[in-house]
Structures are given as structure tokens and as C-alpha cells.
Amino acid sequence: MGISDPIGKVDHGQKTAGSALYVADYPARGVLTGRLLRSTRARARLVEISIPDLPEGYLVVDSKDVPGTNGVHIVLDDTPVFAHEYVHYVGDPILMVVGPEPVLVEQILGSIVVTYEDLEPVVDLEKSETAFFDYTIEKGDVSRAFQEADRIIEERIRTGYQAHAYLEPQGMVGLSHGGRITVHGSLQCPYYVHKAVVQAMGFEPDRVRVIQDVTGGGFGGKEDFPSILACQVAVAAHKAEKPVQVIFNRREDMEFTPKRHPSLCTYRVAVKDGRITAMDIDVRYNAGAYTTLSAVVLQRGIIGASGVYTVPSLHIRGRAMKTNTVPTGAFRGFGGPQTFFAIELVMEHVAGQLGRDPLGFKLAHLAKQGDETSTSGRHHFPVPIRQMVEEIDALSGYREKRKAYRHQSGRFRRGVGLSLAYHGAGFTGSGERDLIKAVARLHKRSDGVVEILTSITDIGQGSKTTFTKIVSRELGLPTSRIIVENPDTDRVPDSGPTVASRSLMVVGELLRRAASRLKGNWREGEEQMIEERFKEPDFVIPFSLETFKGDAYPAYSWSVNVIEVEVDTLTGVSRVLGAYGSYDVGTPIDEHIVTGQMEGGLLQGIGFGSMEDMTADAGGRIRNNSFSDYTIPTSVDVPNLQVRLHIEKYPSGPFGAKGAGELPLAGSAPAYVLAMEHALGTPLDHAPFTMQDAMGILSKETI
Ligand code: MOS
């Protein structure tokens, strides 16, 4: 059996039997319920908080109760555990009411009166004058290229919020016992949470323990936010001296937890003799009220702003702007999908203005192996996009349909769109080498069972299964002899967070190396512990965050997407007739898992491009806080989903594997909107492009 051949997921049994314990499933006896009192104002000074007399056993927890630092350690520490003096967005947590009866907790919450002194909020990205982060990428001679250009084309492209819409909302339990704090819950990154709780509690690291419960989806939404909630429950449990559980309902989760950053990108493109010679790009992301992960989200966004293309001269400025809205954070793709959406539309529109075929124009600018990247690093490995385009063209009939749908006049009109994209596999820049320094262990018990010890969390993406397959294969043992539990910081080393499509490529490779060493050194009947540490591959050109130069990523995963739509010109409703994707993630460690990730991501990206419409109102409040006000694609929305895997092995990944999880988000929204553009016969400039947007264009047509 090959490493790519599918096996049953190792955690399917308990999930399908209903015996898997999610955070809300833990016994409630003796556990107090916590509910957060949140700001109703977008920006205000807290003048007075009037709390009624509390019944026996009920308490209020606020910033004064934080024993350590009232700042949640994420990248910077500006997110308070509980608001102090000021609130900066609608939903900013002010305090927590804790007690045994959920109904009474809710009543107490409703009877607390907060007096605010309102301050002028900034809600609109374009009106914000505060940049949390401001980065510049420079390459070549941009001003000369613009002087010598025979044509300059300018475009503005926008994308909106996207909610993670994981099945399980955020939830966390804190326990205080014997001078220690234990936090367990729904989370992606046990050691991020650990560091945050250590700082908020002011404890030595060994007094904090973090355990991941079975987690019902993350998509990045459980990368940063659990650190905040963990600090809140830790402080509450410490004060109450009892376990405290906070489980968000769907409304609270959708309104007040991070989302994908809305973006506004302005492109100026210099063209000479039919080729793009330079781009001057301005990228602005709406970061919301606190910085959370905006620095790193923005970095990935600007690095990808020139897409899969080699542009000789580049000037890219990226800013993450503060607004008085809910902080935005990590979301599958991590800043990439916004700029990949923009560049794919820009390339199409520039080709159109030059009277060129868009696919031919894109391929003429495609990066090749050996080319410089946007950050003056290298494409060290083959760029397989051309072959993938041919494969998807054969599957979808793209080129033929592109011509056939040119002049349509009936009620139903069709269109096809194509996008090219990549995902830089692993952490951006030198983070893996300088910050994460991943460690993974294999513990061989005396009975010959091998336990995998890493801090990687399985949040549905299948890492327990792929890790098991790697270790089993390398050791030549059946998978039944390999075990992997949910991470517990008392037991597992820090292998880094479960983010950035790094888990399999980076930590999976550490496990493969550990297994290989264990095999060569196997001592029957003895307990053995094998440890491996991250080492940067030799070929990598060191990356500098000061100059934005060097290899931002060691390797890239690639995608080609085609989407075909049919628009009803009477109603504006569109239907996806087919969504096709060719993906190169190196060797798939499990074909079912990788195909599932690609299909899921393709669909999640179609949602981002077509229907997932979320906005903050003039007062800074998110109004789309349920699945009836925020619609996501369901299984009936895309019946014809076709995924193909193209394999370019990556020598530094386990068995040739690269990052996979985030790739499929990048290309689907641009392919969808370009298909709508083709069907409607007019250039479009934003995502989501909803049926109301389509109606807006169609109604103008008939006037
Ligand atoms: Mo992520 S969006 O790197 O969890």
C-alpha cells in the first residue's frame, strides 16, 4: 500500500459513535457558567458600571481580577483580557458574570448598567488614519517602468468579511487546582494559549496546562481567539476557585469573534510592448480594534499581491488599519485570498483592455522555476501551472466555453472563469527558524506501541491520521501500533501552532525523521524517547522582515480553478454548473483527506466569492449574526465539484508532501467572480458578488 492510498480516519470511530468529547460535553456538575458582558458602543470611555447585589455563589470578574498582565499575548499584547477604562468595538468584553445557574447568570448580566461616554468611532476602512502595521516590498525600478510605459491601467478591488462558520462555536473551560491553572477547550494552538495564560496569570510556565478537546472545525478561527477566551476563563476560575465554562452561542460567535480581513487593493499596472513591466500596489486590510494576527495576515497578503506572475518591478505597500469594529484575524489562506482575488481580476482586466486572451496573457507572465519571487527570493522548484491548466481545460472545456458564451441574449446566460494561485507553504519568512523552532517526539513504550507527541491539533483536517500513516510507514508497523492523543502541554513538546499549512510539511517531516531514527535504533522491550528539531533546508535564502527580501516560503503549493455559472437574468440568481480544481500539494499523504480538503476549500471559497455577505453597520455592529442572515454554501449549491491532484514532490517534506489545507481558498472566489463577469459581460471589482449585485447590473441593462 502506498503512502497516498486512503485509510479510514483514525478518529472517525469516536466521532461517528458520538462518544468524542467536545468542550461542551464535559460533565456540568460543579462547573460554573460564565457569560461575558460586552460593550454596546463602538468607542467609549467606561464611566460607571453598576452591578446589582449578587446572590450567594455568583461573582463578577473584570480587569481588576487579572493577576498578571491585562493584555493577551498574541503577536502584540494590546488585546485586553477585560476592557479597562475604554472600549474599542461593539462586543469588547468588559466583564464576566459567573455562577452555577445559567439562567440566573443571564439575568444578572441583563441587570448590569454600564454608563458610557461616547467617543467618535471610525468604522470605515477608508476613513481610518491609524495603521497598526505598514510594510513595503520593493523590487526593480518602478518609477522608470512607469515613465517608459506605453499604457498605465488602474484598478480598485474589494473583498468583504468572511466568517469561519465552523460547526462548533468557541468554548473553553478553566480549572484552578493546587496552585495551577488548567484550560481545556476548542482550539488550534495549545502553546499560543499556554503563553497567553502564563502572561495573564503572571504564573511560571509550569503552573499552566492547556489541553485541546475534540474540536469541531477551526479554519483559522481557533488560532488567535482561544488565547483571549482562555485568559478570561483562567482569571475567572482563579477568582472563583471553581471550574468555569464559557460556551458561545452561534450569535455571539458570529458577531464577536474574528473574521477574514475586509480588503481594499489599488493596482497601477505599467505595460510596455504588450507586457506588464511594473506594478504599484496599495493594499489595505481592515484589522478592527486590536492587532491580533494582522501583522502576519498582512505580510502574506502583500507577498502574494503579484500572484503567480513574475513582475520585473514591484512596489507594494500594505497597511493593516485600525477601525472600531470586531478584530479580524486568521482565516484559512491567512491574507492570501484577498490579494489573489485582486490580482486575478486585475490580470483579466488588463488583458481585456489590451485586447488579449486572458489565459494566454496570464501564462505569458507566469513565474518559472528559478525566477525571482515578489520578495527577491527564488522559485526553487518547478511551477507546474501550465500542465495543470491543460488538465483543467480538458476537464471543464474552459477555452471552448469561453468562446461559445461570448454573445448570449436569452434569459439564462452562462460564463466561465479561470484563476491561477499559490499558497506559500509554512510560516512566512524566518518564523519557523527564529520563532517556532518546532520539536516533535516519538515515545516508544516497552510494549512496542509508539505514541506521537506533538502540539499539532486535529481540527477535522486529519492530522492524526496523516501523522499515524507517516510514522507507521517509516517504522514498518501497522497503524494499530501507533497512537496519537489530543495535545496536552504537560505531555507534548512545542511543535508550533496548527496553522499556515505547516503541520504536515514541517511537523510531519520531524515525525518521519524521528521514526526513521527509531527504526534504526529499535530496542525490543525497552521504553525509548526520540526527539527531532526543526532545521531550515539549506537552499532557503534567509528572509528579512525589515527589507522584505529573501525566500518568504521554502516551497509553494499551486492551484488552477475553473468555475462555470449560469445566471438567471430575470432574478439575478446564479447557479454553479461546475467547479473544477487542479491542486499541487506535493505527495498527498492520504488521497481522501487531501481531496476532502480541496473540495471543502473550493466550496468555502465559492461562498466567499458569491454569497457570504457580512457587513458592519454605521455604528460598527455586525448585523449578519446567524445562518439565515449569513448564508454559506451547502451541499446542494455545488453539485458538480471536480478535484484533481497534480504531484510535484517537495524534497524537504515527508514523502514529498507540501502544505495543503489553505491552498484551495485562494483561487475559487476569483474564478467565480470572473465567471459572473463573463456571463454578465461587464468587468466586476468585488467579492462577494451576490445575486443582489447581479440584479443591480442586470437592471441597468434593461433601462
Ligand atoms: Mo491559519 S489561517 O494559518 O489557522
Mean pLDDT per 10-residue segment, the chain (703 residues) = 96 95 91 98 98 98 98 97 98 98 97 98 97 98 98 98 98 96 98 98 98 98 98 98 97 97 98 98 98 98 98 98 98 98 98 97 98 97 98 98 92 98 94 94 98 98 98 98 98 98 98 98 98 96 96 97 97 96 98 98 98 96 95 90 98 98 98 97 97 94 61
CA angle at residue 574 from 570 to 577, to 5 degrees? 130
Q: Is the CB of 601 under 6 A from ligand 1?
A: no
Q: Are 398 and 383 in contact (CB under 8 A)?
A: no
Query: CB-based contacts of 355: which residues, under 8 Å, 6+ apart?
Result: none
Report CA(498)–ligand 1 centroid distance (Å).
Answer: 7
Q: Is the CB of 669 under 6 A from ligand 1?
A: no
Q: State residue 282 phi and psi, 5-degree precision.
A: -115, 120
Q: Is the CB of 43 under 6 A from ligand 1?
A: no
Helix (H) or strand (E) run with residue 278 in it: strand 275-288
Q: Is the CB of 252 under 6 A from ligand 1?
A: no
User: C-alpha cell of 435?
Assistant: 520563532
Q: Is the CB of 334 under 6 A from ligand 1?
A: yes
Ligand 1 atom with the smallest distance to the CA of 223 is 4
Pocket test for ligand 1, best of 162, 187, 225, 334 (most atoms within 8 A of CB): 334
Q: Is the CB of 330 under 6 A from ligand 1?
A: yes
Report CA(310)–ligand 1 centroid distance (Å).
Answer: 26
Q: Is the CB of 666 under 6 A from ligand 1?
A: no
Q: How far is 124 from 86, CA to CA, in rounded Å? A: 20
- Among 95, 78, 92, 84, smallest CA distance to 257 is for 92
Q: Are 423 and 666 in contact (CB under 8 A)?
A: yes
Pocket test for ligand 1, best of 662, 663, 665 (most atoms within 8 A of CB): 662
Ligand 1 atom with the smallest distance to the CA of 188 is 4
Pocket test for ligand 1, best of 166, 293, 427, 499 (most atoms within 8 A of CB): 499
Report CA(96)–ligand 1 centroid distance (Å).
Answer: 28
Ligand 1 atom with the smallest distance to the CA of 501 is 3
C-alpha gyration radius of the chain: 25
Q: How far is 465 from 590, CA to CA, in rounded Å? A: 8
Q: What is the pLDDT of residue 28?
A: 78
User: C-alpha cell of 198?
Assistant: 502564563
Q: Is the CB of 474 under 6 A from ligand 1?
A: no
Report CA(653)–ligand 1 centroid distance (Å).
Answer: 19
Q: How far is 388 from 391, CA to CA, in rounded Å? A: 5
Q: Is the CB of 500 under 6 A from ligand 1?
A: yes
Q: How far is 316 from 305, CA to CA, in rounded Å? A: 8
Report CA(123)–ligand 1 centroid distance (Å).
Answer: 25
Q: Is the CB of 499 under 6 A from ligand 1?
A: yes
Report CA(551)–ligand 1 centroid distance (Å).
Answer: 20
Q: pTM to 2 decimals?
A: 0.97
Q: State residue 49 phi and psi, 5-degree precision.
A: -125, 115
Report CA(499)–ligand 1 centroid distance (Å).
Answer: 4
Q: How many CB atoms lie within 10 A of CB 634?
A: 10
Mapped to the 3 state alphabet, what secondary structure does 162-187 carry?
A: CCCCCCCCCEEEEEEECCEEEEEECC
Report CA(340)–ligand 1 centroid distance (Å).
Answer: 16
Q: How far is 421 from 208, CA to CA, in rounded Å? A: 41
Q: What is the DSSP string of 417-433?
A: EEEEEEEEESSSTTHII
Q: How far is 587 from 580, CA to CA, in rounded Å? A: 20
Q: Is the CB of 168 under 6 A from ligand 1?
A: no
693-702, long-range: CB < 8 A, 24+ apart:
693/572, 694/567, 694/572, 694/573, 694/574, 695/571, 695/572, 698/567, 698/569, 698/572
Q: Is the CB of 459 under 6 A from ligand 1?
A: no
User: C-alpha cell of 691?
Assistant: 445575486
Q: How far is 114 from 90, CA to CA, in rounded Å? A: 13
Ligand 1 atom with the smallest distance to the CA of 222 is 4
Q: What is the pLDDT of residue 383?
A: 98
Within 13 A of 541's CA, how many CA atoms are on the CB side? Answer: 14
Order of all β-strands in the sheet with 86-87: 86-87, 44-50, 113-118
- Among 115, 126, 432, smallest CA distance to 264 is for 126
Q: Is the CB of 552 under 6 A from ligand 1?
A: no
Within 13 A of 264's CA, how many CA atoms are on the CB side? Answer: 11
CB burial class (10 A; 0-12, 13-18, 19+) of residue 115?
A: exposed
Q: What is the pLDDT of residue 427?
A: 93
Report CA(500)–ligand 1 centroid distance (Å).
Answer: 5
Q: Is the CB of 265 under 6 A from ligand 1?
A: no
Ligand 1 atom with the smallest distance to the CA of 331 is 2
Report CA(187)–ligand 1 centroid distance (Å).
Answer: 12
Q: Kindly give the pairing relationship between strand 59-61 and strand 93-99.
A: antiparallel
3-state secondary structure of 407: coil
CB burial class (10 A; 0-12, 13-18, 19+) of residue 456?
A: buried
Within 13 A of 697's CA, how many CA atoms are on the CB side? Answer: 20
Q: Is the CB of 332 under 6 A from ligand 1?
A: yes
H helices of 383-462, in order, are: 385-396, 398-404, 431
Beta bridge partners of 582: 560, 644
Q: State residue 557 phi and psi, 5-degree precision.
A: -100, 145
How far out from the chain centre does Cα 181 lie?
Answer: 29
Order of all β-strands in the sheet with 439-444: 482-483, 450-453, 439-444, 528-533
Pocket test for ligand 1, best of 187, 300, 332, 455 (most atoms within 8 A of CB): 332
Q: Are 237 and 343 in contact (CB under 8 A)?
A: no
Q: Is the CB of 381 under 6 A from ligand 1?
A: no
Residue 369 DSSP one-character state: T
Query: What Cα–Cα distance (Å) separates residue 465 from each residue in 190, 353, 461, 658?
Result: 19, 49, 9, 16
Report CA(335)–ligand 1 centroid distance (Å).
Answer: 9
The H helix count followed by the E strand count for the chain is 17, 24
Q: What is the pLDDT of residue 702?
A: 58
3-state secondary structure of 510: helix
Query: CB-based contacts of 379: which residues, under 8 Å, 6+ apart?
Result: 367, 368, 369, 370, 371, 373, 556
Q: Are 614 and 163 in contact (CB under 8 A)?
A: yes
Q: State residue 148 phi and psi, 5-degree precision.
A: -90, -5
Q: How far is 685 from 617, CA to CA, in rounded Å? A: 21
Q: Is the CB of 296 under 6 A from ligand 1?
A: no
Ligand 1 atom with the smallest distance to the CA of 333 is 2
Report CA(553)–ligand 1 centroid distance (Å).
Answer: 15
Pocket test for ligand 1, best of 223, 257, 502, 553 (most atoms within 8 A of CB): 223
How far out from the chain centre does Cα 83 lie?
Answer: 26
Q: Is the CB of 502 under 6 A from ligand 1?
A: no
- Tell me which residue has its CA closest to atom 4 in ligand 1: 220
Q: How far is 454 from 493, CA to CA, in rounded Å? A: 6
Q: How far is 525 from 519, CA to CA, in rounded Å? A: 14
Q: Is the CB of 558 under 6 A from ligand 1?
A: no
Q: Is the CB of 224 under 6 A from ligand 1?
A: no
